[in-house]
Every structure is written in structure tokens, then in C-alpha cells.
Amino acid sequence: MKEFKKIFITGGAGYVGSLLVPSLLELGYMITVYDLMIYGENVLQEHPNLTIIKGDIRNKEKLKWASAGADTLIHLACISNDPSFDLNPELGKSVNFDAFYNIIESCKDNKIKRLIMASSTSQYGIKPLNVEVTEDSSAEPITDYAKYKIECERLLQNTETGDLEYVFVRPATLCGYAPRLRLDLSVNILTINALINKKIKIFGGSQMRPALNIKDMVRFYELMLIAPKEKIHNQAFNVAYNNMTIQEIGNMVKNTIADENVIFEVTPSNDNRSYHVNCDKMKNILDFECKYGLDDAVLSIKKAYEEGLISDGLNNSFYFNIKRMKERNLEDEKINSKSTTICKDNIKVPTVVVIGSNSFSGSHYIDFLLEKTNYNILGISRSPENKEIFLPYKNNPNRSRFTFHQLDLNKDIDQIILLIDELQAEYIVNFASQSMVGQSWDNPDHWYNTNVLSTVKLTNSLKDKDYLKKYVHVSTPEVYGSCSGSVKEDNPFNPSTPYAGSRAAADDFIYMLIKQFNFPAVFTRAANVYGPGQQLFKIIPRAIIYSKLGKKIPLHGGGNAKRAFIDIRDVCEATLQIMEKAKPGDVYHLSTNTLISVRDLVSIIVNKLGKSFDEVAEVVETRRGLDDAYILDSTKAKIEFNWQPKINLEEGINQTINWINNNWEIILKENLEYIHKE
């Protein structure tokens, strides 16, 4: 069974999409919705794994650009139902059929693995009621809407598509509540009229209509994402709950609403579609059974109406396709198909600004965001981008969502703020700092300039930005100074070095902004972070490299200081949750529960490389301001976010050794010592 994670949905802000998209997000999928948004910009709620692109499927270049990187394309976009199609048949054909060429080409060019097409049972036309209509029954469409559904199926089947898997979903008439509700569908029409007018209007009555609760429609699309290729490729599936006449549906609605005052009104109808759909195929091949009855659909609309979620249900064009079509001229709104310009204003994608993007932690966080979210990311660092081996995001397949700007927090603060304003960035994560502890005694003013003054200028400029949802300040446990035992987030500051003092001062200023201006800032304080790509002068990569070179590692005080170490990928996972969910003023410790002396750590590393501790290490005097051993209490993050470090120290060391071995020739040319920059 294949696992598809990145789903591109055309028409994802419509009736089905408005219920399907939140459900897929809940299941952990990364979703891009491509939609003209003619029913408004607020149908779908913001989510870190949701990208919304306002676009027209008739614009081939933009569609191809937007769908790049997707595993699966769910094609829902169309001018839906016969009256809307008949309003402008030429427009209907351009959207429902001509644009399907663009869908197929985008799938081929972007090497999308699976295409799920929303077709329709209406293609069967009129069939004798004693005949059960299966997927193999002849298509006899009596409307252009139905005609072009079957034409799209045939077009795809007759096109060379390489390894593309595809399936045709033929649902019955849908019903039930969804955020972008349709009240122009049979069950829904009867229900809203019964609730508001106390009258159920029956048009005709004898026509047999299969129906399907929209909740089961969502379940079926979810199944299409995980079903094996051999069961669904080039297959069509009827999806329906049951078959009822319009009169029977009316009776069901009245009985479900349980209002004795509701009356029936029967009028003739020129809509003669009538067929009895057989759904044995979905049951026998996919083991899929509908769980939600039509009465559940009626009750969902009744509940929404009683809770005030339906406004002017008989007249509001939001609920009626043809009314909204009359209000909007889609020909005027059509994006020039020759244009390749992608307008950022049409893309509702949250932006994360990562300051200190060249840093070990910053670069890994960018890589993590590109892998796990749909965010656009802006990286800011004072140095040019480093070599590929130190920047994991450079090999990320989603790197197109990342942009780098070389700007110095100490010198270019005005440019940085202008850039953030231009992007209206929702999130800022600040990794930038002068971070070496012992060396901070040599030029303490440099540490205070970057860690305090520049941070004060940055955060003071950001404090009134309404667009900013969260500022994450990556701080340090060094602010606590010498303490012992288990340290919680409310432990008082007691810094022992210029580095720690500068970080504590910046933290104090940000606390003031939170209290006085409701600045949406949160803090992270992690144990000693390590992993592949770390600066070569840090203890773990340094021990590996010196051991391979046969050089001696100087250990302050003999390496007896005890520390906790945590893999950068575990830190990134927690940081994302903190960025999205933490409340202003919150502080989170990120650490394992294991303390190890630097001596024992080095011994583990060099033993893996066939060396002894005495061969590799030498004792030097204790560093001024070296703090006592303590363990950060990470209970808060673990409880609030259900977070746990997953990578143990031995596994992390092995991965770092492999990274160094795989890049040894490059590393040999690098400077192995810390070089200070003001």
C-alpha cells in the first residue's frame, strides 16, 4: 500500500472540499487547495499544513506551478449541476472539459502519482427502474454537464500517462451539511424548505434518485488515497447510500424533522433523470460500506440551521450555485492562460521568517518546515549561505518555498523590518546570537551588541505588527547560571558569563514587551543540541574529527562537567509545535532526562572509532564561569504537546559519525576552530 502525503485539490473550497480538506488535515496530510474562491476566502480555516492558491484550472502554467511536488491530485473543480452549466454552455465546457487537458498535463509534467477524478452517476441518464445501473452500464447523458463528465473519463483513458494511477469516482447526489453548504441539491432543498417555509416542494416525485451523505463521500476520498493501485487504477466506482424516489425522500425529510406543520406541494418537473444505481463494486472490491444515512444528513442541516450557521437559506447565493454564477462573470475573472506570473497576493500561505538561517539549528528548522509543513520560509543571516553539507534544506525537494536574504541583524535592522512588513510574516523564529560561552569573556561588548541591542531593536520594531502571530525567541539555559537538580522554566536568572548575561538581558526586555504590549513572544531553552551538520568546533563533531586525525582534544577541567544532549531534529519538532500553539509569555525547556559527563561522552565517541580516551583527550584548566550540572525539566512541553525526544544519544552520535565520514574530503578543507565575527 502506497502512502501519499502531499495532496493537491482543485475546487477544494467547494461543497465537498470544505468538509474533505479539514478531515485530511486532521489525518496528517499536507494539502494545497487550488480554487477560484467564488464562494469567499474564508470557507477553509487556516492550518499549518494547508496552502490555499486562488487560481483557475484553465490557466495551464499556473496550475502546473501550483501542483508541483504533490503526490496525489484530487480533481473536484467544475461548474457543478445542470442549471449552472446551462447558464453558459461555452464557459461550462471550457472549465469541465477543456481544462481537463491541463489537469492531465500537470499530472504528467509534475510526475504526480495518483489522480482521483470526481465524475458523476448522472452520466447514466434515464434507465428502466428494473435495471440496476453498474459501472459497466452504458453512458447515456441527457445534459452537457453529464456528457463532459464521461468525456473526461474517456480522454484520460485514451491518453498516454506513463506511471500515473487514476480512478473515477461516480457519486450519487450528495446531501448534508458542510461549511460551504449547497442548498440546491434534492435532500438539502427539501430540508431547508421544510425548516423555513414549513413546506416540502416535490418536483415530479416518481424519479428514482440515488443519494449519498457527504460524510461518506469524504470517507471514500480518504480511501482513494490509501487503496492499492491494483484495486482502483483505471476503475470507476459508483458511490451511493441507497436509491429512493423524490417522493420517498420528501417523506423521509418530514419524518426526520418531526414537524407536524410541514406540508407537501407537488409540481411537475422537466428533470426526467431516473436510475437505480448498483454499488456492489465498491463493497466487493474495496470493502466500503456507507455509514451515514440520509436522515443523518437532514439532521445535520437542521442542527446547523438551529445554531444560526445558515443565513437566509432560501435566498443567499452562497448556498446556490446558479445564483452565484449569475453574480460572477467567470470569463472576466479567468486568468490569462498565457500568463506565467504567479501573484503572491493570490496565495494564502503563512510565512515563517527564520533569523539566523545559516546557523546549525536554524538551517535544520528550515529543513524541518519544508518537510513537514506548507509554509513559505524566508531565511535571514549575516553571512552568505554556507556549504551544502552544513545546510540540510539545500537538498530538500520543497526548497522552492525557501528564500534567502543576506542581512546583518546588527547593521540592517531597517531592511529586515521592511522585508518582514512586505511579506506580512505570521511567524518569526530568531536563532541569531553570538553563542560561544567561554569566548564571550574576550569581547563581551560584541556579545551584548548582538544578543541585547540588536534583539531589542528587532523586537521593539515588531511589537505593534498586527500580522505577527508568534515570535519565537530561541534562548538558552545558560541564563540560569550555576544551579543543581531539576530546573523548571520559572527558575530565576543567575548568569555566570557575558554570553549568559546578554541572553538574560534580551529575555528580560522581551518579557517587558509581552506584559506592556501583548507582544506574541514565546521562549525555547534547549539542552546541548547536536546532530549531522553541526559546527565542527562543537564537542561531538570535534571529538570525531580529532579522533580520525589523531589529534588531542582539550577538555576543560578534565571533562568532568555533566550535560544533557538532545538531537536537533527532536528540538525542531518541539519548536514547530511551540511556534504554532504556545501562548505569549510561555517558556519551554527541551531536553532529554540523561546527564553525561563530557569525559564519558568523548570516551563513547572515540571508542566507536577504535581509540581510547587517553589517546585522544588532554586535560586543560577549568573554564571561567563553567556552570554546575543540572537537568532541564521538559515536563511542560511533553504534557502540552505530547512531545518526547525520539533520538537517543548513541543513535545521534552514529548518525553524526556517518555524516562526517560521508563528507570527509570536504570537512578536511574546513577550519576546525571557532572564528569570531563581531
Distance CA(222)–CA(614), nearest Å, equals 59
What confidence tens digit (pLDDT) does each residue in 48-97 have?
788 888 889 999 888 888 888 889 999 999 988 666 666 778 888 989 99
Torsion of CA 375, 376, 381, 384, to 10 degrees: 130
The 3 state secondary structure assigned to 505-536 is HHHHHHHHHHHHHCCCEEEEEECEEECCCCCC
pLDDT of residue 627: 55
Assess if residue 367 is contained within a domain: yes
Are 297 and 410 members of one domain? no
Of the ranges 112-121, 571-580, 629-638, which one carries the lowest mean pLDDT score?
629-638
Task: Tell me which amino acid residue 53 is.
Answer: I
User: Are residues 168 and 74 part of one domain?
Assistant: yes
> Looking at residue 412, what is its pLDDT?
87
Residues 6, 49: contact at Cβ < 8 Å? no
Task: Return the DSSP state at 184.
Answer: S
Q: Do 460 and 322 fall into the same domain?
A: no
Confidence of residue 427 (pLDDT cuts 50, 70, 90): very high
CA distance 17 to 115: 16
Q: Residue 335: its pLDDT value, please?
A: 40
Q: Helix, strand, or coil here: 365?
A: helix
- Asked if 544 and 609 touch (Cβ cutoff 8 Å), the reply is yes
CA distance 188 to 174: 9
Range of lowest pLDDT (328-332, 543-547, 555-559) = 328-332
pLDDT in tens, 157-176: 999 999 999 999 999 999 99
Amino acid at 126: I
**Contact yes or no for 440/364 (Cβ under 8 A):** no
Distance CA 434, CA 456 (A): 15
User: Best-predicted range by mean pLDDT among 262-276, 538-552, 568-582, 599-613?
Assistant: 568-582
Number of H helices, E strands in the chain: 26, 30
CATH of the domain at 426: 3.40.50.720
277 and 377 share a domain? Answer: no
Residue 538 lies in a domain: no
Any bridge partners for residue 487, and if so which? 632
Shared-domain flag, residues 365 and 253: no
Q: State the burial class of residue 360 (Cβ atoms within 10 Å of its Cβ: 0-12, 13-18, 19+).
A: buried
Q: Which residues pair with 265 in a beta bridge?
A: 201
* 366 and 333 within one domain: no
Contacts of 267 (CB under 8 A, 6+ apart): 201, 202, 203
Q: Treating both helix axes as pointing N-terminal to C-terminal, what angle do 598-608 and 649-662 enclose, rounded to 10 degrees?
A: 50
CB 439 within 8 A of CB 674: yes
pLDDT band at residue 674 under the 50/70/90 scheme: low
Residues 471 and 452: their CA atoms lie apart, in Å, by 16
From residue 461, alpha-carbon distances to 419, 466, 468 in Å are 12, 12, 12
pLDDT of residue 322: 78
Q: What is the DSSP letter of 274?
A: B
655: in domain: no
Can you read off the three cell numbers belonging to residue 600? 564519558
Ranges 67-81, 106-120, 125-139, 529-543: which has the least confidence: 125-139
For 100-159, the three-class secondary structure string (H helix, E strand, C coil) is: HHHHHHHHHHCCCCEEEEECCHHHHCECCCCCEECCCCCCCCCCHHHHHHHHHHHHHHCC
Q: Which of 306, 338, 370 is the last residue of a domain?
A: 338
pLDDT (average), residues 291-297: 95
Return the closest-CA partner of residue 370 out of 405, 403, 402, 348.
402
Among 408, 362, 358, 352, residue whose Cα is nearest residue 388: 358
User: Which of 277, 311, 338 corresponds to the end of one domain?
Assistant: 338
Asked whether the CA dihedral 88, 91, 96, 98 is positive or negative, the reply is positive
Within a domain: 616: no
Give the pLDDT of residue 535: 87
Whole-number Å distance between alpha carbons of 240 and 212? 5
**Cβ–Cβ < 8 Å for 566, 637:** no
> Are residue 238 and residue 141 in the same domain, yes or no?
yes
Query: Could you say which of 294, 309, 338 is where a domain stops?
Result: 338
Euclidean distance between CA atoms 591 and 579, whole angstroms: 17
What does the alpha-carbon distance between residue 554 and residue 536 come to, in Å, rounded to a whole number? 14
Mean pLDDT of 251-264: 87
Question: Do 333 and 420 share a domain, yes or no?
Answer: no
**Three cell numbers written together for 345:** 497576493
Question: Do the domain assignments include residue 553?
Answer: no
Q: How many CB atoms lie within 10 A of CB 663?
A: 17
Count of domains for the chain? 2
Whether the per-residue pLDDT at 2 is higher than 80: the answer is no
The three-class DSSP label of residue 674 is: coil
Average predicted confidence (pLDDT) for the chain: 87
For residue 377, give the C-alpha cell.
Answer: 520560509
Instruction: Please name every residue paired with 355 in a beta bridge, in sequence order, or none if there are none.
Output: 380, 430
3-class state of residue 16 by DSSP: coil
pLDDT in tens, 633-673: 999 999 999 999 999 999 999 999 999 999 999 999 887 77
Q: Which three cell numbers stand for residue 569?
A: 531534529
Residue 462's domain comprises: 350-531+565-592+628-646
CA distance 585 to 502: 19
Shared-domain flag, residues 304 and 366: no
Residue 578: HSE in the Cβ half-sphere, 13 Å Cα cutoff: 31
Q: List Cβ<8 Å contacts ≥24 apart for 395-402.
A: 396/367, 396/370, 396/371, 397/69, 398/69, 398/370, 398/371, 399/370, 400/68, 400/69, 401/370, 401/374, 401/375, 401/376, 401/377, 402/366, 402/370, 402/376, 402/377, 402/378
Is there a single domain that holds both residue 199 and residue 284?
yes
Residue 653 forms part of a structural domain: no
Same domain, 330 and 447: no
| Residue 661 is assigned to a structural domain of this protein | no
Rounded-to-integer distance, Cα 7 and Cα 24, Å:
9
- CA gap 180, 527 in Å, rounded: 47
Q: Which residues contact residue 236 at a Cβ distance below 8 angstroms, ignoring those fewer than 6 apart?
A: 119, 135, 153, 167, 168, 169, 170
Quick one: which of 457, 657, 448 has its CA closest to 542? Answer: 657
pLDDT recorded at residue 437? 62
Written as nine digits, the cell of 258 is: 418531526
Residue with cell 515588531: 462
Say whether pLDDT at 15 is over 90: yes
Q: Does a structural domain hold residue 218?
A: yes
SS3 assignment, position 399: helix
3-state helix, strand, coil in the chain (%, to 5): 40, 20, 40
Task: Give residue 634's identity as a one-letter amino acid code.
Answer: S
Let me know whether 311 and 396 are in one domain.
no
- Rounded distance between C-alpha atoms, residue 325 and residue 182, angstroms: 13
d(CA 433, CA 447): 8
Of 538 and 575, more confident:
575
Distance CA 650, CA 586 (A): 31
**Given the C-alpha cell 452504458, which residue does it identify?**
138
Q: Is the pLDDT of residue 554 over 60?
A: yes
CB 272 within 8 A of CB 206: no
